[in-house]
Amino acid sequence: MLIVKKFGGTSVANKERIFNVAKRCIEDYKNGNKVVVVLSAMGKQTDVLLDMAKDINPKASRRELDMLLTTGEQTSVALMAMAMDSLGVPAVSMNAFQVAMHTTADYGSARIKRIDTERIKNELDNRRIVVITGFQGINKYDDYTTLGRGGSDTTAVALAAALHADACEIYTDVDGVFTADPRIVPKARKLGEITYDEMLELASLGAGVLHNRSVEMAKKYGVQLVVRSSLNTSEGTVVKEESNMEKMLVSGVAADKNVVQIAVEGLENKPGVAFKLFQHLANHNVNVDMILQSVEHDGTQDISFTVTEDMADTAIETIERHAHTSLKCSNTEVVKDVSKVSIVGAGMMTNAGVAAKMFEALYDAGVNILQISTSEIRVTVLIEEKYTDIAAQAIHDAFSLES
């Protein structure tokens, strides 16, 4: 078997953890498998480097930032290869140049285009464990690029696809994907399997065990993923196209407190106003989520939407800059104490009444719904933040997701 194993920064944060990872990989190696290991930078090293850069130049170019950040994973892979060597197993570290890992030109948010697999295959054939830098690539200018936050997951999936790996294991600090966050819903149950689509909805809803783009890529290339813990040997959750189990109505409940609702009031009620508003926001890279447009009142209307907390200031500034020119709104209001609670499940799309059951559970728990949005396999409600845990628990109970 050819196995790709990815470990995040927490798993290689110090000497002890590096050796733990090394031993896990060596176990697979000694069982006769070919082993490729993808690593992130140690612990908080990426943040340390970003702080160094900020101190020198708060507006540093992404090209130079990527040049700086890529030292993080290179440090991890070199130390990991040394650890494996010291345990008597030949290992070789490789960075994005050595692989080579070709990406688009976009510094800071590049996408993988092509992976040269020749050297990796040679090293594997020579019975070495190959330890590869996650998160980084090189572009057509021979410059380093990075794949954005969580990019190491994507590196692992891309390598698994290019090498036609038999398994792609994503190690994390939880046991797998759960029916809800176990810190909120104590009886949450680990899922044995989940589909790519369900995982995508969960990831984008703040239950993010996996980086969204890695799941998209896994779906595209049919790479079966296993999400499992680097701390124990429990089996984890398999992410794949179709669940073998009877399709569950609802796979899980996701809660996301990292949400702010912004209301823009007194907008002129004429064509193109909403377009202009969201155009301005998009120009400033503000991702807008749940949108609600009020009915007209005295020739004006209100539009509210949600954004993640870190984008709230940018959103407000953007709107206020245009408040007296292209937008002509009377007021903006920010509601910080809101959260999103969602149910996700591939079975939902063929099953009526799921949303109703969710709303009923919330009503019984005394939770008021501020806004609703849905997709084929998801229902999301916006509620007051203080009710988040109660809501998640109530929905979890209503759908009998407990273990």
Nearest-approach distance from CB 32 to a second copy, in angstroms: 24
Site track 37-66 with a second copy (rule: CB under 8 A), x = hit: ------------x--xx-xxx-xxx-xxx-
Using a 10 angstrom Cβ sphere, with 0-12 exposed, 13-18 middle and 19 or more buried, the burial of residue 364 is exposed
Nearest-approach distance from CB 134 to a second copy, in angstroms: 15
Q: How far is residue 101 CA from its own chain's centroid?
A: 21
Nearest-approach distance from CB 45 to a second copy, in angstroms: 10
Strands of the sheet with 252-268, listed across from one edge = 291-293, 300-307, 252-268, 331-344, 378-384, 371-375
* Sole binder of a second copy in the list 15, 23, 297, 336 (CB under 8 A): 15
Nearest-approach distance from CB 110 to a second copy, in angstroms: 16
What are the start-end ranges of the H helices in 87-211? 96-99, 118-125, 151-162, 196-204
Stretch of 76-84, 229-237, 281-289, 372-380 contacting a second copy, by CB under 8 A: 76-84
* 271 in Cβ contact with 197 (< 8 Å): no
The dihedral region occupied by 265, where left means phi > 0, alpha psi between -120 and 50, and beta the remainder, is beta
Nearest-approach distance from CB 112 to a second copy, in angstroms: 18
Total binding residues toward a second copy, as defined by CB under 8 A: 36
Q: Which residues between 326 and 365 bind a second copy (CB under 8 A)?
A: none
Tokens read off for 143? 């410059």
Nearest-approach distance from CB 140 to a second copy, in angstroms: 13
Q: Which residues between 124 and 163 bind a second copy (CB under 8 A)?
A: 142-143
Strands of the sheet with 91-94, listed across from one edge = 91-94, 129-133, 34-39, 2-7, 167-172, 225-229, 237-240, 193-195
The residue type of 371 is Q
Stretch of 75-83, 235-243, 297-305, 345-353 contacting a second copy, by CB under 8 A: 75-83
Q: Which residues between 107 and 126 bind a second copy (CB under 8 A)?
A: 119
Interaction site with a second copy (CB under 8 A) = 15, 18, 49, 52-53, 55-57, 59-61, 63-65, 67-68, 70-71, 74-75, 77-79, 81-83, 85-86, 92-93, 95, 97-98, 119, 142-143
